[in-house]
Amino acid sequence: MHSFYCRNIPETGQAVRLEIHDEKHLFKTLRGKPGDPIELLDGRGVSAQALITSTRALEITGRISTPEPPLKLHLFVATPRRNPMEQMLRQCAEVGVWSITPVVTERSVALPPRESAPERWETILQEGCKQSRNPFLPQLHAAIRFNELLERVRDGAAPAFFGAPGAGQEPFPADAADLRWIVGPEGGLSPDEEARLTDAGARACRIGRWIMRVETAAVCGAALFLHARL
């Protein structure tokens, strides 16, 4: 069954139309026909089953509302180069990351793009959610500088952890509703950045035996933290 995003899914028995580019994809590329079943996702926890009508609208036959997860993981990551970034976004959607914020650090190897990439990133996140049936689309935030990251860590609104290969394995905060996972660039965070994060209240932790790429550390760390609350 093919899945599509629909920002406003109506009630059962009502009909809705896809956005123009999705409608073209459904009927010209996928050759959708009246009576074919379609799955819709709104990215905010609602999914629905629908049937294609003779007018090319989608009639809702059932809706499911999924409650928000007990732990929302917020990823702060130094942007890797294009292909690894896109791979990371797709996998973040698959494992259930709640939000993603690119961070510019001292050793950043790729600065966040200013124009078309964020729109493409949003599409990749949608693809990851559709593939995994994750009903919650990760929120993609604008890039921030390292000093702004420090301010967010200091606010104490959520426990913050950053990857450091030489660190120990920190115990997971069992009662946390939100958690911040910070991943540095290729070559890692600088010693000064690690010290400043620690002073701000973040905790260094090790998620594996060996040094990982940025995209690997981001996804593996997220999966480990989220798995602890399953």
Kindly report the CATH number assigned to the domain that includes residue 218.
3.40.1280.10
Per-residue pLDDT at 115: 54
Of the two residues 159 and 115, the one the predictor is more confident about is 159
pLDDT band at 114 (very low <50, low <70, confident <90, very high): low
Q: What is the DSSP string of 109-166?
A: SSPPPSSSHHHHHHHHHHHHHHHHT-SBPPEEPPPEEHHHHHHHHHT-SS-EEEE-TT
Q: Which residues form the domain of 37?
A: 2-65
Per-residue pLDDT at 211: 87
Per-residue pLDDT at 230: 56
Both tokens of 21, joined, read 């580019």
Total domains in the chain come to: 2
Q: Are residues 91 and 191 in the same domain?
A: yes
Answer whether 226's CB lies under 8 Å from 71's CB.
yes
Q: Are residues 90 and 197 in the same domain?
A: yes
Q: Are residues 182 and 97 in the same domain?
A: yes
Average pLDDT (90-119) is 85
pLDDT band at 116 (very low <50, low <70, confident <90, very high): low
Query: Is residue 159's pLDDT more than 70?
Result: yes
Boundary of a domain, candidates 40, 65, 90: 65
Q: What is the pLDDT of residues 66-93, one digit of tens each?
A: 999 999 999 999 988 878 999 999 999 9
Q: Classify residue 137 as left (phi > 0), alpha (psi -120 to 50) or beta.
A: beta
Query: Is residue 37's pLDDT more than 70?
Result: yes
